[in-house]
């Protein structure tokens, strides 16, 4: 079980290393990778 942020907001960030998604950018809490901005979550 991996931690996940609430993805119900407009903005979405994703770690391309492990797939972790979060509403706020920065560093991935699970693999220490970079969270990249994907834009609005509805695009996915």
Chain residues in the site for Zn ion (CB under 5 A): 15, 17-18, 20, 28, 30-31, 33
Cβ nearer to Zn ion, comparing 5 with 18: 18
Decide: 28 and 36 in contact? Cβ < 8 Å: no
Q: What is the CA radius of gyration of the chain?
A: 9
* Minimum CB–partner distance for residue 38 and Zn ion (Å): 14
| CB-nearer residue toward Zn ion: 31 or 44 | 31
Cβ atoms of residues 39 and 12 within 8 Å: yes
Least separation in angstroms between residue 39's CB and Zn ion is 19
């Amino acid at each position: 079980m991996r931690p996940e942020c609430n993805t119900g907001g407009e903005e979405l960030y994703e770690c391309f290393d492990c797939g972790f998604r979060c509403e706020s950018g920065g560093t991935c809490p699970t693999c220490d990778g970079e969270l990249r901005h994907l834009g609005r979550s509805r695009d996915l």
